[in-house]
Amino acid sequence: MRRNVSVQAVENRSGSRSGSGSGPSARSGAATRIARRALLKTALTTTALTAAGALALSGCATAGNAEEGAGSGDLTKVSFALDWAPNTNHIGVYVADELGYFEDAGLEVEILPYGSTGSTALVSAGEADFGIGGQSGVQVARTAGLDLVSVYRVTQTDTGRLVVMGDRDDIERPKDLDGMVYGGFGSPLLSAYAKTVIEGDGGAGEFEEVSLDTGAYEALSQGRIDFTLSVVTWEDVEMRLDGHPYKAFRYQDFGLPEQQSTGIVSSDTYLEAHPDEARTFVEAVARGYEYAAKHPEKAADLLIQANPDELGAAKELVHESAKLMAEDGYLVSSERPIGAVDEKAWAEFGRFLFEQKLLVDKSGKPVSQEPDWSEYYTNEYTQGATGESS
């Protein structure tokens, strides 16, 4: 049985364990906050409160920003909402903007910075035309009543990992985590990930859960918690560069279904009103991500160039992350066109969400019937994507 406890209750209990340290550098702390918050914001779509807030916002929203103005010259204005500070999950969008792919498509794309309202809530409410939204977030949020549909899949597989400090000799496998302290984020979905992985390795899935916000890196490195969840394409890279690598366990090696963990969403309302803009936007985005897959070093430079204040001090991290995403097949799959949906992953992960009772309807009540997941995504706009030319 998991038991939630406060971080103060365990702050000093593990100080003598291997893995304690002096904490991250200023650069590392900022980078961790980017990745941690991005993961957290996706997970928080599991709550009915998030869905209710987005639905309330939709009552005073417009049907789409493209109707509000033509942009510069003959370009059509389109808005895109980030889920957190710029990072390599967004690299294809920034490449498309910097290299003129959007302009070639007749679009002027406004990239909206992250604010207090999440990207999926803005899209559902009509305050943004497109935004970052991963598979599990779409499956949970649309079930809860949000107007969301996945139009492009950025990562072809799950980038999440269950992690411990690399020098924890007492933890060799997930089942060793029974009875230990998990640094979580108050998200039932993420807690279910941890439990499933431990049980999948033969453990009981019993642990204490400490609710954290942005301090998981510090809590883990200082021994105040035993394990947490990370993003392999960002946080794990950061930890390696800092000389404190994680010991990471891939969820799917221990029973959690595969998912396309990062993607781009729009709304049925926008897609019905602006089919041409949607097609040209997704095709330009696909060119950007394919460029990043073929030229990760150049793409990393373009991402930093577009965001010098946020990423100028993390150049090595951005380059290493972009290289990992390109070379390990996160951006492009040999099994399907770029950005296309993995129907099996959506069906199997959706069944996991349903069986774990993580799905609620718009009134906040648990759903009694598994949704038709084919209604949650479309490949219509990726079919014409041909990738970047060179």
Whether the full predicted model's pTM is greater than 0.75, yes or no, is yes
Residue 19 has what pLDDT? 32
Residues of the chain predicted below pLDDT 50? 1-54, 58-69, 387-390
Residue 352 has what pLDDT? 98
The per-residue pLDDT for range 28-67, each reduced to its tens digit, is: 444 444 444 444 444 444 444 444 444 555 444 444 444 4
Torsion over CA: 217, 223, 229, 232 (sign): positive
Residue 58 has what pLDDT? 46
Contacts of 332 (CB under 8 A, 6+ apart): 156, 289, 290, 293, 338
